[in-house]
Amino acid sequence: MYLKWCKELKISFGHPLKEEDFILISRTNGKPISPNSLNYAVNIVADNQNLKKITVYGLRHTHATILISKRIPDKVIADRLGNTPPMINDIYIHTFE
């Protein structure tokens, strides 16, 4: 459903379709959302819900750590995050040492 929305939105703005664009795009112009905008949005939610603030990168790290703790294969995690299994082990496995 989200991928279909992305394609329709990009076409409506006359943007060419590129696979890497389908992460998070702006509904106002069909272009990728900046990391600063994402962090701002996450901070608003954190403030409204009295949660500890975290960056989008921190959410990614938390997500990977949870998957590792659930013993999800590193290949699956790597595919999900756009990394390689060795990168997953180098970057995230230290959490469990």
**Residue 70 — pLDDT band, cuts 50, 70, 90?**
very high
Q: Where are the alpha helices (DSSP H) in 49-97?
A: 56-69, 74-81, 85-92
Quote the pLDDT of residue 16: 75
What's the pTM value of the predicted model, to 2 decimals?
A: 0.64
pLDDT tens digits, 8-65? 888 888 887 776 665 777 888 877 788 888 889 899 999 999 999 998 889 889 999 9
Quote the pLDDT of residue 3: 73
| Short-list 89, 45, 42, 43, CA closest to 64 | 89
pLDDT tens digits, 72-90? 999 999 998 888 999 998 8
